[in-house]
Chains A and B, each alone.
Chain A
Amino acid sequence: MSKSNLTRRGLLKTGAVAGSGLALPTIFTAQSASAFINDPTGGTVTLGFNVPQTGPYADEGNDELLAQKLAVEHLNGEGDGGCLNTFSSKALRGNGILGKKVTFVTGDTQTKSDAARASAKSMIEKDGAIMINGGSSSGVAVAVQGLCHEAGIMFMVGLSHSNDTTGKDRKANGFRHFFNAYMSGAALAPVLAKEMGKDRRAYHLTADYTWGWTQEESIVASTEAIGWETVNTVKTPLASTDFSSYIAPVLNSGADVLVLNHYGGNMVNSLTNAVQFGLLDKQVNGKDFKIVVPLYSELMAAGAGENIKGVLGSMNYNWQLDNEGSKAFVKSFGEKYGKPPSNSAQTCYSQVLLYADAVERAGSFNPCAVGEALEGFEFDGLGNGPTLYRAEDHQCFKDVLVVRGAQNPTSQYDTLEIVEVTPREQVMYPPNHPMFGGDAASLGECNDGA
């Protein structure tokens, strides 16, 4: 008969050591991987699409949502795969993200910062969204970016053109694919010089909020650099609907160019009012009077109708771009929805794919790992040509389009024509550029919400 030396104390010690040993791989793998907020544990991962579904930008928000849904389909291996077939990174295989099926929830920003923060918060806390994407206003983007950073969630910015989003308000958890006001100025100035000459006097009407201020600053700097003089800069309340009081003094100011730093309904109304006042029919200082709209969108062009004919502006993307990524996206979007994608749709679609791709390459949903995978990422095949996600400020650098209201559009979809594709080298700037917060601007520490 054998004698066992097993004691109760010994058994407990052995059990504790064995238990620790068995648990060890879990502590260093699974548990460490879930040490961040909203780690998807089941077979699905939830993305949060925060777009304006009500209010004046609802149509733009709807277009973003269509693109986001298309991106989810492609990620899950449904449809024709769209830009998964042209994307330079081959990490995405149409089997979800890291093998998890992609689902999504939506929020309504109402294009109001407080409402957008509330809907993002709800998607993060109640629905477990691991990433937030969308929006059509810089005020909203800056607000939601701050919230996501505090919560430890990735924010893939939608349509936001203010320098501040990746300038003084940049955050480690926020990434912007869309171009910015500085880039608009840098792309437009040479075309303006070529088409209108270097001896021009500009009058600015500017929407009185973060985006308008940074766009005015950017366009003033870039046009003065080519020799233009700035006659006046007038801020107009965001709630303005009739701009006649602001436009009436323009002709007598000595200006021969009107720059409308307006977006959406503001731009539609100010441009319409300017054309009604006959500005484009006048000659001032011996030159034809011109109007410039630095930031265009397809919906604004539709709203302004005939008034945009011949008016120059800039865009992040246009469906008429002739590259493989753009063709694949237009085909996919067009077949599904019967219309070409807008530039807000394209930026949201790209952002969803870029996020998913970064997760695959990082092998983790941890926002800090995903952020690292996006920083300095060079890619192509999403419609804009070769693009860099700069590490220092999380801003994408790619070619910028200078566009003009078409004189003879063949349909409602080609009201804008591409005048020039400005190479990205021409629109680059140092991360500590004074318009982007200078040396004081910082991404801060990445937050994974742990």
Chain B
Amino acid sequence: MDAIILQILNGLDKGSAYALIALGLTLIFGTLGVVNFAHGALFMIGAFCAVTLQKLLSLSYVVIDETKTDFMGNPLKVQAPYVEKWFGPEIGEAIINWSVPLAILFSIPVMLAIGVAVERGLIKYFYRRPHADQILVTYGLAIVLQEIIKYFYGANPIPTPAPPAFAGSVDLGVALGFDPNAIIYPSWRLIYFAFAALIIGGVFSFLQFTTFGMVVRAGMADRETVGLLGINIDRRFTIMFGIAAAVAGLAGVMYAPINSPNYHMGMDFLVLSFVVVVVGGMGSLPGAVLAGFLLGILESFASTTWATTTIPGINQVIIYLVAIIVLLTRPRGLMGRKGVMED
């Protein structure tokens, strides 16, 4: 039982990332009708917002330590962060340690700006082009973004730890009446799940309960009519692209402590997120979220020793297997609407 709970937690955690990326993908597809293959790269850039802020906060001046030598035998140059000089060692260290949560605030305007710039500068020229063209141009954009990040940050993963307060793990088993150590789970992953739930709830509330959201939903249903009512739906859709980019970016920021960011981490999530969107149903926001968590949990269970010894390789194909079964039984996906991507 404890093993099952652990894998459900793992699945919810993985599903959180899938759901957040798939949610953004669906928002963009639902509003602009664009299949955005650069969405994984936006997730990656979000993670690098955390890396960048950590580097900015760790900007240092050099102090020569005569008592130690470097690899060349010269006096050691010790890097001393400015924040520790300005605010004292303890506060300075705490600021650097909390760079990932601080990066949430840093990343929102950055990702919104990147999203709007990408939409205005590139995507808008492809609205009336076939989906294949959109896929090619956004995939190309993803490669360009990756290479830019690689140029500045290198190919090696960059450790971006969570604040020390959340670096450890929580013994959930004791709280649930199991033996100690039965259900140990990393604190930051629990925070990630809660954060994802908050963002997903926020996006749904924004669309459901604000005038802006109502207009966007109306535009998604019938863009032409909303336009005829004198509403500048294009501008709202551009903003929605920015919001979708921010959602992907936030998912990336919070993911940075889970796995050290590297320039190709977006591609690892992109294909799976597209499968999530298709399984959930093209254009369906609840479908994207549901499928994200569902596939995350299934993938987690398929990685257990029991599953891999029973069916070797199941951990690598489970998501695609489920996608095939869902599409055979429900061709529009779990919550797909009639008429979407069927013209």
Question: Which residues does A use to contact B, with CB under 8 Å?
Answer: 55-60, 232, 234-235, 237, 239, 241-242, 244-246, 248-249, 251-252, 265, 268-269, 272-273, 276-278, 281-282, 284, 299, 302-307, 319-320, 330-331, 334-335, 339-340, 410-411, 413-414
Contacts and interface: CB of A to CB of B under 8 A. Distances in A.
Point out which of A55, A246, A248, A252 has the most chain B C-beta atoms below 10 A from its C-beta.
A248
B74 to A, nearest CB: 10
Contact of B157 (A237, A245, A273, A303): A303
Contact of A411 (B70, B184, B185): B70
Nearest to A303: B157
Contact of A241 (B76, B268, B304): B268
Interface in B254-278: 258-260, 262, 264-265, 268
A413 B300 contact: no
Interface stretch (B3-11, B108-116, B222-230): B3-11
A57 B265 CA distance: 14
A319 B305 contact: no
Contacts of B186: 244, 276-278
Given A58-B155, A278-B184, A340-B71, A235 B10 contact: no
A305 B260 CA distance: 9
A276 B303 contact: no
A339 B77 CA distance: 13
Main secondary structure of the interface of B (DSSP, over half): mixed
Given A277-B186, A304-B260, A237 B161 contact: no
B13 A244 contact: yes
Given A237-B316, A334-B72, A278 B169 contact: yes
Contact of B259 (A55, A56, A242, A339): A242
A249 B156 contact: no
B168 A278 contact: yes
Interface in B139-188: 150, 154-159, 161, 167-169, 181-182, 184-186, 188
A392 to B, nearest CB: 36
A351 B200 CA distance: 55
Given A241-B265, A245-B7, A306-B159, 6 more contacts: A58-B150, A241-B268, A252-B2, A303-B156, A334-B72, A413-B71
A304 B181 contact: no
Contact of A248 (B7, B70, B259, B265): B7
Contacts of B68: 410
Contact of B168 (A55, A281, A299, A330): A281
B14 A242 contact: yes
A311 to B, nearest CB: 14
B157 A265 contact: yes
B208 interface: no
B25 to A, nearest CB: 19
19 contacts: A57-B155, A58-B150, A60-B156, A232-B305, A241-B265, A245-B300, A245-B303, A249-B305, A251-B181, A265-B262, A276-B189, A277-B169, A278-B184, A282-B184, A299-B156, A302-B156, A302-B159, A303-B158, A331-B72
B71 A334 contact: yes
B119 interface: no
B155 A59 contact: yes
A235 B305 CA distance: 9
Interface residues of B, number: 49
Contacts of A299: 156
Given A59-B155, A242-B259, A340-B71, A410 B76 contact: yes
A18 B182 CA distance: 93
Contact of B159 (A284, A304, A340): A304
A303 B169 contact: no
B264 A272 contact: no
A249 B308 CA distance: 14
B305 A305 contact: no
Nearest to B14: A242
A249 B258 contact: no
B37 to A, nearest CB: 18
A275 to B, nearest CB: 8
Contacts of B154: 58-59
Contacts of A272: 159, 258-260
A111 to B, nearest CB: 10
A333 to B, nearest CB: 9
Contacts of B6: 248-249
B76 A335 contact: no
Contacts of A302: 156, 159
Contact of A246 (B72, B262, B303): B303
Point out which of B68, B157, B300 has the most chain A C-beta atoms below 10 A from its C-beta.
B157
A268 B256 CA distance: 13
B159 to A, nearest CB: 3
Given A245-B303, A248-B6, A268-B157, A282 B181 contact: yes
A242 B156 contact: no
Contacts of B264: 55-56
Nearest to B188: A276
A76 B288 CA distance: 61
Nearest to A250: B184
Contacts of A232: 305
Contacts of A248: 3, 6-7, 9-10
Contacts of B169: 276-278, 281
Contacts of A303: 156-159, 260, 262
B180 to A, nearest CB: 10
